[in-house]
Structure 1
Amino acid sequence: MKKKQKKEENVFQRIAEHWFLSEPVLFATYCSHHLKPNSSIACTMRTGKGCIEYNPELTNLLTEQAIEENLKVEMIRILLKHPYDRQPKDCSAMACTLGSDCTLSSYYDNWKYVNLAKPSDFQLPEKEYFEWYAINIDKLIKKEGTSSEGNSSSNGQEASEREEASEGKNLTKGDTTTEEKNDSVMTKTYDYAKAKAEQSALWEEDELMQISINTIIENAKNWGTIPGNLVEQIIASTKARIDYRKVISGFRASCISMRRTLTRMRPNRRTGFQNMGSIYRYKTNLLVAVDVSGSVTSKTLAHFYSVINRFFHYGIENIDVMQFDCAAGEVKNIKKASHKIEIFGRGGTDFQCVIDYAQQAKCYDGVIIMTDGYAPPPVLPPHFRPHLLWICENEDSYKQHHEWMEKLGRACTINL
């Protein structure tokens, strides 16, 4: 066993030496992690928690070229920060791995020895982002139920067959073991569903690793053989994603207004208890305007109201909520999270009615507008006091409208 492990370590050492000369980015990424054998895992290789783990029994059955390509795929996952960033909430480990596979194969699918799952295996479009694939594949897996245990989902059966065929194709030709022994080892150790689930078992949010990987990307001058499409995605991943929770929290802090009240319970700073002292109470008066026009789906509205319910976690005691389309609807004061919401409107969109209402009310410190952004920009009246925050329904909406939105206030997006 020790000889086998030593042999595998020599293979990884030769790959690293080759990368040092020809693949500087992959070499730097490889050096940022610890190599560790782990015979208990069902997958050939996996990364996470600062480690590169490999199964000596499985890697021993592969050619050196196949091991190098498997390692290259894992290094690209790290560069895209799939093991360390943007982990989809409540997604199964298998869905996360398949989502990562689909992201990689969307931009490059000319691997010789590694067969990654493709979006077409799940009847999904190409060139979407990692979390989107993971969430949608997870829904398919849950929908299929027990029938998806062996092949990820009915749509993912082709991916399973391709992966198993690939593993068989890459057996080391010069190995002294018999074909029957190879077959028994592969049967015993390789289970597609289990392998895919264990491949992302070490993945978790890690800000320090994100910073370390971003440093490697920012210092890269030669990308070697990494395909151009993937290089663009890797560079784009260094741009900080907007977390609407942080934006809302910061927006609330910027909208705090101070109310002074007099009290006999505190001494006056100048005259002591001869005169009443002052208490300063901090309060945020917010108006949240929800776009209920026909272009906003019911699913999006459900997410909008889910975000509104989160506001109470930021110390906000009550919120005025308005539904609007081409006209402003009734304003309702909400003092706790609501689970049943009636939607009115579903016509066109006009942001000006929200601005005009806030200006006439003269009691708001901040206005939050939740929308898909498809309407002419409003005109702010002179001396418009409330701070403005635009929350877009998705990244496409944000990219299309954020320039004019940020001229009027702040803007962020939520991922549905």
Structure 2
Amino acid sequence: MSTSPRKKHTSRERITHVVEGWFISEPLLFSAWTLHDVVIEPRIETIRVQHGRIEYNPAFIDSLRKHELRSVLTFEAMRILLGHPYDRRQPRTELSYMASNLSVQECLRSDLPIDRARQVFGDEQFDDQYFEFYYQELLQRQQSDEDSDPGQSDDDESQSRSKSPSTNSQDEQQHETPDDDSVADDASAAADEGHRSGETGSSAPESSESASQRTSSDSLLQAYADPTRVGQENADGWESDDLFQNEVQTTIREAAETDGWGTIAGSAKEKILSTLEPIVDYRAILRSFRQSVLSVNRRLTRMKPSRRYGFTQMGSRYDFTTKLLFAVDVSGSMGAKDLRLGFSIVGRFFQYGVESIDVLWFDEQIRSEPMTLRRARNQFEVIGRGGTNFQPLMDYIDDHRGYDGLLVFTDGYAPVPTKPKNSKTRILWLFKDESTYQAMDPSLRSIGKAAYVRPTKSKPAASRS
């Protein structure tokens, strides 16, 4: 007695089947997905999110096994919840897609052929970071590669980029038997049985059709994971969209209030919730702080013509005269690594064009006279290691008003000081980690801006080898 095979589901039906299953088990993923219009886009290779649309190539969806499809859709839903397509795109599109993949993979630890951060960067301390952190690390590596080999050809550069953050090798992937939504016919079932037998030592041959289908699935799945192949088309449409991002954040808040997280892990919850507050990028803060405290001297020179009168009048030359004071907390609660991190940050200002910086260290009192630096230094001899008191710093800039900016690097465990009378000297509080930033920032906002360096357990983002 023969039975006719069931009709094979279309790509849209397969997607709908997975998403409908989320309604009970994964309400947050379901809500994020259903905010979007799901449309066919055969001009792209895989699947992407942009402008309130989830666009997919039916050939890509059809090539995926059931568990692979579920993983891909979950991956894209998490990308939406983390705000990458609507709030966090960076200038270099491929690197944006790479950073997004790393951030989502750290949340999900999926079985997709996408490397974890430790595999890309070679260090477990890069685990569980956020999108902007990975983007900056990838950008620095790419720029370092470009600087070290400026004559590298475009082909070599493309190959180099594809090796670092792309995908695991096929030997590392577990090839499971196809698991389509439709009931397989007798020939497919026999081919699957032959494949399973082959894995256990049987010499039963595998059908060429089954092998071809698996090769196609693996190839397209590898493409989805490869930023050099699909990063441009998948992330090029990402842009800031406050209205849509607000809808996503409303969905997240509702999930938090009703405990509608589904099976999302605790660490992933923290990352999703963190999208409700802006990420503090201390490097951007340093750059903006530098811009806000720049001062210049105008002097006349015969070597430069006047823009209005030419060489008949003297031209103007502008020299930067910015004076910065960098104060490092050397109290007992600051470890040796913290101090190295603090002093290493001084070097960043030299990269931003500041010619000299005065550096001093303090605990409950100022422990040194300002030391003027004109280049980065790796070693300092410090004394102190007592408690922490910010008030001597406020008194110091009241007595020494020639500084355009004061940057205080600290762990934050100190009483809030009295606001200085000197309003000319801008103040930036730079905390060594996020927890002290969150504890101290509300109390110090009236005195100056604040940022933090280490958002999590990562290696110091500002350290330089």
- TM-score normalised to structure 2 length: 0.60
Q: Which residue of 1 aligns with 2:409?
A: 371
Match of 2:115 among 114, 117, 121: 117
* Matching of residue 210 in structure 1 with residue 245 in structure 2: yes
1:63–1:198 CA distance, 2 compared to 1 (3 A):
same
1:175–1:123 CA distance, 2 compared to 1 (3 A):
farther
How far 1:85 sits from its partner (Å)? 3.5
Question: Is the deviation greater in 74-83 or in 320-329?
Answer: 320-329
Q: Distance between the aligned counterparts of 2:178 and 2:71, measured in 1?
A: 14
1:385-406 per-residue CA deviation (whole Å, 9 max, x = no partner) reads 6664313355466346546655
Check the 8 A contact 1:24/1:222 in 2, yes or no: no
- Structure 2: tracts of 5 or more residues without a match: 1-6, 146-155, 189-208, 294-320, 331-335, 362-366, 454-460
Question: Is the deviation greater in 96-105 or in 392-401?
Answer: 392-401
Percent identity among equivalent residues?
Answer: 17
| Code of the aligned partner of 1:328 | E
* Matching of residue 238 in structure 1 with residue 276 in structure 2: yes
| Code of the aligned partner of 1:30 | W
Check the 8 A contact 1:61/1:172 in 2, yes or no: no
1:127-276 equivalences in 2 (<5 Å)? 127-136=128-137, 152=164, 157=168, 161-162=171-172, 165=175, 170=179, 174=183, 178-186=209-217, 189-192=220-223, 195-198=226-229, 200-201=231-232, 202-203=234-235, 204-208=238-242, 209-220=244-255, 221-223=258-260, 225-229=262-266, 230-242=268-280
Q: Distance between the aligned counterparts of 2:19 and 2:218, measured in 1?
A: 30
Q: Distance between the aligned counterparts of 1:89 and 1:393, measured in 2?
A: 27
Check the 8 A contact 2:66/2:180 in 1, yes or no: no
Q: Distance between the aligned counterparts of 2:357 and 2:327, measured in 1?
A: 7
* Matching of residue 59 in structure 1 with residue 61 in structure 2: yes
* Matching of residue 392 in structure 1 with residue 431 in structure 2: yes
| Code of the aligned partner of 1:124 | E
1:250-283 per-residue CA deviation (whole Å, 9 max, x = no partner) reads 9998x9xxxxxxxxxxxxxxxxxxxxxxxxxxxx
How far 1:78 sits from its partner (Å)? 1.0
Check the 8 A contact 1:29/1:79 in 2, yes or no: yes
How far 1:81 sits from its partner (Å)? 1.5
1:303-318 equivalences in 2 (<5 Å)? 303-304=345-346, 306=348
Match of 2:382 among 331, 347, 357: 347
Q: Distance between the aligned counterparts of 1:101 and 1:28, measured in 2?
A: 18
- Structure 1: tracts of 5 or more residues without a match: 256-283, 313-317, 333-337
Q: Distance between the aligned counterparts of 1:190 and 1:248, measured in 2?
A: 40
How far 1:210 sits from its partner (Å)? 2.6
- Which SS does the other structure have where 1:165 is aligned? coil
Q: Which residue of 1 aligns with 2:31?
A: 28
1:137–1:383 CA distance, 2 compared to 1 (3 A):
closer
How far 1:51 sits from its partner (Å)? 2.7
Q: Which residue of 1 aligns with 2:450?
A: 411
| Code of the aligned partner of 1:29 | A
1:114-160 per-residue CA deviation (whole Å, 9 max, x = no partner) reads 46533443442333333334544666788797776665469x646x6
How far 1:41 sits from its partner (Å)? 4.1
Match of 1:103 among 106, 115, 122: 106
Q: Distance between the aligned counterparts of 2:400 and 2:219, measured in 1?
A: 71
Q: Distance between the aligned counterparts of 1:5 and 1:151, measured in 2?
A: 37
Q: Distance between the aligned counterparts of 2:55 and 2:8, measured in 1?
A: 12
Q: Distance between the aligned counterparts of 1:99 and 1:153, measured in 2?
A: 8
1:330–1:114 CA distance, 2 compared to 1 (3 A):
closer
1:330-387 per-residue CA deviation (whole Å, 9 max, x = no partner) reads 568xxxxx8x4567844246755533321212566x7532414377558548856666
| Code of the aligned partner of 1:329 | P
Match of 2:328 among 266, 291, 294: 291
Check the 8 A contact 2:28/2:260 in 1, yes or no: yes
- Which SS does the other structure have where 1:328 is aligned? coil
* Matching of residue 323 in structure 1 with residue 359 in structure 2: yes
Match of 1:47 among 46, 49, 52: 49
Check the 8 A contact 2:75/2:104 in 1, yes or no: no
Q: Distance between the aligned counterparts of 2:348 and 2:376, measured in 1?
A: 11
Check the 8 A contact 2:397/2:420 in 1, yes or no: no
1:157–1:247 CA distance, 2 compared to 1 (3 A):
closer
Q: Which residue of 2 aligns with 1:359?
A: 398
Q: Distance between the aligned counterparts of 2:100 and 2:227, measured in 1?
A: 6
Check the 8 A contact 1:251/1:389 in 2, yes or no: no
1:381–1:98 CA distance, 2 compared to 1 (3 A):
closer
How far 1:222 sits from its partner (Å)? 4.8
| Code of the aligned partner of 2:175 | A
1:370–1:67 CA distance, 2 compared to 1 (3 A):
same
Check the 8 A contact 1:42/1:190 in 2, yes or no: no
Check the 8 A contact 1:101/1:116 in 2, yes or no: no
- Which SS does the other structure have where 1:369 is aligned? strand
| Code of the aligned partner of 2:358 | M
